[in-house]
Amino acid sequence: MARPKEFDRDAALQAAVNVFCDRGFEGTSTEDLLHAMCISRQSLYDTFGDKRQLYLESLQQYVATSIAEQIRALNSEATVLAGLEAALLAFASKSGKSGTPGCMGIGATCEFGMSDPDVTALIATADKALQASLERRIADGKSSGEISPEVDPRAAAHFIKATFAGIKLAARGGAAVTSLHAIAQMALRSLK
């Protein structure tokens, strides 16, 4: 009879996500992972496969959670601009909290560019979901008159995603939360 697993799979995966967020793929050693996940080498291989498989599962988990959070915030307010503001400010506040690790999605894009088809596909799927939600909300905002008729929803969605990335990078570089909020507010001005 197989011995029951002695660790919480979800908690171990989350620990791996945190390490990869902070150090990227190349910068993370198997020892770093074992230490953070508090599991044995054999458990890691049995449960998650090798470092690359664990990285891909961590990235999948990270981007799915992040995108769901952003889309939820986007749809949390009665008006479109308030929803966009809520999503950007919450993201800025979270990114700027001291001790918050880097963004695994941005880290993966920096590290791999388009060189790894599995990484590219994972990020493309999440990106597509966020792009579609943003486009829909921005089109709604144009219909309701909140957003300028001159704004193209597709271009504006690309721009808001670039703003999320810019905020995260500014935070990673040490910018204060007030600066991150200012970036978010400037981005919102462009929609009006």
Angle, in degrees to the nearest 10, between helices 30-37 and 41-48: 90
Q: Candidates 83, 107, 141, 153: give the one binding a second copy (CB under 8 A).
A: 107
Q: Which of 11, 38, 110, 132 binds a second copy (CB under 8 A)?
A: 110
Asked if residue 90 binds a second copy (CB under 8 A), the reply is no
Beta carbon of residue 63, minimum distance to a second copy (angstroms, whole number): 12
CB of 78 to a second copy, least distance (A): 24
**SS3 string of 130-190?**
HHHHHHHHHHHHHHHCCCCCCCCHHHHHHHHHHHHHHHHHHHHCCCCHHHHHHHHHHHHHC
Shortest separation between residue 128's beta carbon and a second copy, angstroms = 12
Residue 163 touching a second copy (CB under 8 A): yes
Q: Is 132 in the site for a second copy (CB under 8 A)?
A: no
Residue 115 has a CB neighbour count (10 Å cut-off) of 8
Rule CB under 8 A: choose which of 33, 44, 84, 123 binds a second copy: 123
Distance CA 20, CA 48 (A): 14
Q: Per CB under 8 A, which region of 5-13, 32-40, 74-82, 177-185 contacts a second copy?
A: 177-185
Least distance in Å: CB of 96 to a second copy?
A: 12
Is 43 or 90 the residue whose CB approaches a second copy more closely? 90
Interaction with a second copy in 32-51: which residues (CB under 8 A)?
Answer: none
Contacts of residue 52, defined as CB under 8 A and 6 or more positions apart, other chains included, come to 25
175 near a second copy, rule: CB under 8 A: yes
Measured in whole angstroms, the distance separating CA 7 from the mean position of its chain's CA atoms is 26
Amino acid at 119: V
b/e string for 58-75 if b means 16 or more Cβ within 10 A? bbbbbbeebbeebbebbe
Which range binds a second copy by CB under 8 A, 49-57, 61-69, 78-86, 105-113? 105-113
